[in-house]
Each structure stands twice: as structure tokens, then as C-alpha cells.
Chain A
Amino acid sequence: MTCEMAKTQLPLFLYGELNFDEEEAIEQHLETCAGCRGELNALKALHRLAGEAEMDPPAGLLESCRAGLAGRLACQAPARRAGFWARFWSWRPAAVAWKPAGALALLALGFFAAKLSGPAPYSGARVRYVEPDLNGRVQIGLEETRQRVLTGRLEEAPIRKLLLAAAANREDAGLRVESIDILKSQSASAEVRLALLAALRGDPDPGVRMKALEGLKTFVWEAETRKALAQALLTDDSPSVRTMAVDVLVQGKQQDLVGVLQQLLRKENNDYIRERSTRALREMRASVETF
């Protein structure tokens, strides 16, 4: 192989885009050619610099995009569906506008109550007895549950208790997303953190797990949180959850991460996650593979 040929293949070699034979040829050439080894090192430095210049979306941009999308989808949808986007999406504008108010924000549980009971006139009612009358009609005895609206601060025990209960409501994924989204600003509280860890580990809905992960970001140094994040990275079936987990975990570059990333690389199919893990291992001067 000539140096000219090697130089055209080095960028592809670094990205792992050459086949086995081509890689072999390049490696043989590199063993004997200092010039091309220098070129390879320069390209590695370029990779590192380009990696440093990678732009993460500024904080809040994703939420604001989601809110804007929900608004535009509501305009698109037929009238009977328009309310869905405003009501169901966890990133509806109201939820976003609420966030900056933080601990001072007031929480209305009326929304949850409305969701639990559903829109049909008797959907919240329980039939206690049925009885035909003599005129061919039917008498039905209903037991109706009255809705209550509670308003309070997140720090107040009854409000937090209800939110924690709503976050564990197995019937309604939308409700769990809403609840975890609200609770995640309170992750300094141990009971909230436990709820976030439980959601990340076991919630069947990836949207809920994403919200829980967002809430746990700032506790990445805590052993239990790192364990849950590593578990999510290795076992979660949602690429978005694994992507966020790897992004959060690699920030710290703690040594306990090396084994996790090496294990991950043995089975991970997602290109982004593989790339991020490989880069983190290289930055930690750890080998990419285990032998």
C-alpha cells in the first residue's frame, strides 16, 4: 500500500468503516510508515477537537420544542382530538410555563382527577344495583365518586403524597409521566428520589423512565443513582433512555464506569451510544474491549 492510498483510507479506518482486509492492509502499512502514523495521530486529534465542539441543545430547548410541537399538533388535529394534545402530552405549554416557578408553583390536582374519571357521564360511577320496573324500564342504583380539587405547594405532605401515589398508578402512563415530571424538581428529597429510582428501574413506559432519569441527573455521583443508571444503560430497551443514561454517566468519567461501558459495547447496537461509550473509554484511557 502506498502512503497516498493509506491517507485516503485513514479517516474511514478511524471511523471503523473499512472491511477486515482493508484494515489489515492499513495496519501493516502503519507499522512501517512514521509519516502515516503522524497523519493518523493528527486525525485522532481532529476527532477529539470535533468532539469537544459538539453542541448539546441548551437547557430547556427540548422542553420548549415539545411544547411548541404539542401546540402545532393541536392546530392540525380534528376538533375532537385537539384537546388530546393539550391534555395528554406531558410537554404541553402549561407544564413548561409552570416549571420556572419551582417551589412556589401551585399544583392543581383537578387535571388528574378529570383524567382518572374520563369524559363519559357515568364513567366514574359504580353500579350498586339494577332493578326492572313494571313499565318495562330499568332502575339503576349508582354510587358516584365526587371529584375534589386540591391545590398546594409541592413541599406540602398531602400534595407530595398524592403525587407519589399518582407516579405509581399502573393504569395510566400519562398520569405517571405528568407526576414524575413535576416531582423531578424535588429530587433533593429522599422519598422523591426513591420514587424516581423505582420509576427508572421498573416503569413499563419509556417516557416515564426518561422523566425519572432527568430528575436523577444531578445525583449522578450517588452510588445508588449510578447503579440505576448503569442498569438502565445495560438493560433498558428504549434507545432514548440508554442515550440519556450514557450522556449522564460519562460526564463523571468515574472508574466504575469502565466495566459498564465495556460490557455495554459487547451487545449495544445503537451507533450513537456505541460512539459515546467508545469515546468515553478512550478519554479515560481504558481499553474499548475486554479480553
Chain B
Amino acid sequence: MDEAALIRAAQAGDQSAFERLVRAYDHAVLRLGMNLLRSPEDARDVYQEAFLRVYRNLGHFRFDCSFQTWLYRIVTNLCLDQLRKRKVRREESSVQQTSDGVRDRMDSVAEERAEGDPERRVYSRQLKSRIDQVLSDLTPRERMVFEMRHYQGLRLRAIGDVLGATEEAAKNCLFRATQKMRRALGDFL
């Protein structure tokens, strides 16, 4: 069954079609949430809320754009809300208090990726921390465009569609984001 048929079946109330639709995109949605928010808890919230919204509103989907664009619009709006809230509340700290002292929730992720090599682990942690810092210094919109282009591989035109902006605006955002990262990561380059 192709995607359009799957969507129509899901619109008609076929839950297994809806399930297949979720499965076709949920890995990418979680990856996007994870990279944008850099917090497993927030990524999980966005994942669930996004697919709940899809479930509730699928009946209104009229094929005016691709399903992926529609879904990513929902996901990026949820992520933008999260990022803006963080900016307001200065909630950027993913730091938590544990019995071993203060610990960053994302350290465990970075450590897994460093594959046990102590030198590489230190380097990976420093780099991760610097990149986290520079990403949090980007505006939510710049961050969104960079993440979708760099990690999700979306074309700028599609990113513009997702964000309700022109391709030109997406280009400018990407340029600004790259420049800021280039400056902030200068000594790693």
C-alpha cells in the first residue's frame, strides 16, 4: 500500500494503517526531537504529543503538502515551543542533582558514543559541551534550520515549507547558524 492509500485508510479509521504510518516516520521524528532538544525526556514528550496531534487531526489532512512536511510542521512547532520556553525560563540546564553530585543528563549518551576510549571520551565530552553551548546560543529558528538540514538532510525548500517560510529565509538562517558555529568552534576546526 503506498503512503497516500495508507493515509486514506488511517483517515477512514483503520488503526493498523495509522500504526504503519507512525512506524514509517517515528524513528526520524524521535531523532529530530533528540537533536533539537538534546534531552531524551523532552524528545519523548514531543514524539508522543506529535503523533497524538496527527491522530486527532489526520481527518483534516487534505494532501495540500506531503505528509512528511505536515508531520514535521507539527514536530517543529512543538520543538520551537519547548526551545522558546527554555529561553524564557533559562531552563537550558539539562543538569540534574544525583547522589554522585551534579550530572548532565546527556553525559551518558555522549559516553556511550565514545566507545570506552578515555582520550576520545574526554574529547567527545568537550566537543559535545561546546556544540551544546553554541546550539543553545542560536535562535530557535536558526537551530531548527541547521538541525533539519544537517542531521535530517532535508532540502532548504522543504525546510521552508515546514517552517512556513521562504527558501531564501531558510538559506539566511542556515548561513547565520553556520557562521555562529564556525566562530564558536574555531579552535576545534
Which A positions have Cβ atoms within 8 angstroms of B? Answer: 8, 11-12, 15, 17, 42-43, 45-47, 49-59, 61-62, 64-66, 68-69, 72-73, 76, 81, 84-85, 88-89, 173-174, 205-207, 210, 238-240, 243-244, 270-276
Contacts and interface: CB of A to CB of B under 8 A. Distances in A.
Interface centre among B23, B154, B179 (most CB of A within 10 A): B23
B44 interface: yes
A244 B27 contact: yes
Contacts of B40: 57-58, 61
B78 to A, nearest CB: 14
Interface stretch (B85-93, B96-104, B123-131): B123-131
A218 to B, nearest CB: 15
Interface of B: 15-16, 19-20, 22-28, 30-31, 34-35, 38, 40, 43-44, 47-48, 51-52, 55-56, 106, 108-109, 112-113, 124, 127-128, 131, 149-156, 158, 171, 174-175, 178-179, 181-182, 185, 188-189
Given A17-B156, A53-B131, A57-B31, A240 B16 contact: no
B155 A17 contact: yes
Given A11-B178, A240-B24, A73 B16 contact: no
Pairs A-B, 6 closest by C-beta atoms: A275-B153, A271-B153, A11-B178, A272-B153, A53-B131, A45-B189
A30 to B, nearest CB: 17
B31 A49 contact: no
B34 A240 contact: no
Q: Is the interface of B mostly helix, strand, loop or mixed?
A: helix
Given A12-B174, A58-B108, 5 more contacts: A15-B174, A52-B127, A57-B31, A58-B40, A239-B24
A56 B31 contact: yes
A69 B47 contact: yes
Contacts of B149: 15
B139 to A, nearest CB: 16
Contact of B127 (A47, A53, A58): A53
B151 A54 contact: yes
A225 B34 CA distance: 29
Contacts of A11: 174-175, 178-179
Contact of A50 (B30, B47, B150): B150
Nearest to A204: B1
